[in-house]
């Protein structure tokens, strides 16, 4: 027997080692399936808590958590997939303005997401270069604002970037 702690539950659930492996593999597949979905972490936590609720009912009824019980339980949940499994049809823009988490216009956040760097570093570098360029970078920033499309979240932009990478690999 081994124990497994799940989100939303104070204690650990006693179960067989095989049952523990089944649950951990199921949750790992769910995390992978959710990928960069903006609600992915929350969805997996909710599923984990729901599994814990079902396990608690089994234990409260005097049952044991073994491989067969766990298999039946996980079959009830079925495969986990994001709400929107379709990849964006349009290509990801090179420059974009991300609305969620923006400081001024979201342009630095869009560049940081594309380059996969920390946004606070990129913002600091942009301010320093803006000062040392005599305002030329500020003018370029303002021009970019005119042409850069808005995207709601970094998750949406990452999903579009990933879809572009997959298209290029084909």
The CA angle 119-96-158, to the nearest 5 degrees, is 70
Domain final residue, candidates 26, 47, 77: 77
> pLDDT confidence of 82, banded at 50, 70, 90?
low
- One domain for residues 13 and 56: yes
Whether 87 is covered by a domain: the verdict is no
H-helix segments, 133-153:
136-147
pLDDT of residue 90: 60
**Do 126 and 160 reside in the same domain of the chain?**
yes
Q: Which domain holds residue 69?
A: 2-77
CA–CA separation, 39 and 159 (whole Å):
13
Model pLDDT for residues 91-129, shown as the tens digit of each residue = 778 888 888 888 888 899 888 888 889 999 999 999 999
The two three-digit tokens of residue 154, written as one number? 């970094």
Determine, yes or no, domain membership for 83.
no
> Among 46, 77, 108, which residue terminates a domain?
77
Tell me which residue of 80, 75, 157, 70 sits closest to 111, measured CA to CA.
157
Residue 102 domain-assigned (yes or no): yes
| pTM for the predicted model, two decimal places | 0.49
Q: What's the whole-number mean pLDDT along residues 125-138?
A: 90
Whether residue 102 sits in one domain with residue 70: no
pLDDT of residue 169: 77
The strand ranges marked E within 12-74 are 12-15
For the chain, how many structural domains are there in total? 2
> Two tokens at 30?
């769910």
Residue 162 within any structural domain of the chain: yes
Give the model's pLDDT for residue 86: 45
**Residues in the chain, overall count:** 170
From residue 18, alpha-carbon distances to 26, 65, 68 in Å are: 12, 10, 9
- Residues 105, 142: one domain? yes
Whether residues 123 and 157 fall in one domain:
yes
In a domain, 10, yes or no: yes
- pLDDT at residue 165, rounded to an integer: 81
Residues 163 and 126 in one domain: yes
- What pLDDT sits at residue 167? 79
Is position 40 within any domain?
Answer: yes
Beta bridge partners of 4: 13
Report in angstroms the alpha-carbon separations of 145 from 33, 44, 136: 34, 36, 14
* pLDDT tens track for 13-59: 899 999 999 999 988 888 888 776 667 778 888 888 889 899 999 99
- The answer to whether residue 90 is domain-embedded is no
Residue 88 forms part of a structural domain: no
Whether 96 and 145 have beta carbons less than 8 Å apart is answered as no
């Amino acid at each position: 027997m081994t124990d497994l702690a799940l989100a939303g539950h104070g204690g650990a659930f006693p179960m067989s080692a095989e049952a523990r492996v089944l649950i951990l593999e199921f949750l790992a597949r769910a995390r992978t399936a959710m990928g960069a979905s903006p609600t992915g972490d929350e969805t997996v936590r909710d599923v984990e808590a729901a599994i814990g609720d079902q396990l608690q009912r089994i234990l409260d009824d005097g049952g044991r958590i073994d491989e067969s019980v766990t298999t039946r339980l996980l079959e009830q949940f079925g495969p986990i997939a994001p709400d929107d499994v379709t990849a964006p049809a349009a290509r990801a823009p090179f420059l974009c303005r991300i609305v969620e988490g923006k400081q001024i216009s979201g342009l630095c956040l869009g560049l940081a997401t594309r380059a996969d760097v920390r946004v606070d570093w990129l913002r600091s570098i942009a301010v320093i270069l803006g000062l040392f360029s005599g305002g030329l970078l500020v003018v370029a920033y303002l021009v970019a604002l005119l042409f850069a499309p808005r995207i709601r979240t970094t998750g949406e932009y990452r999903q579009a970037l990933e879809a572009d990478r997959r298209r290029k690999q084909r």
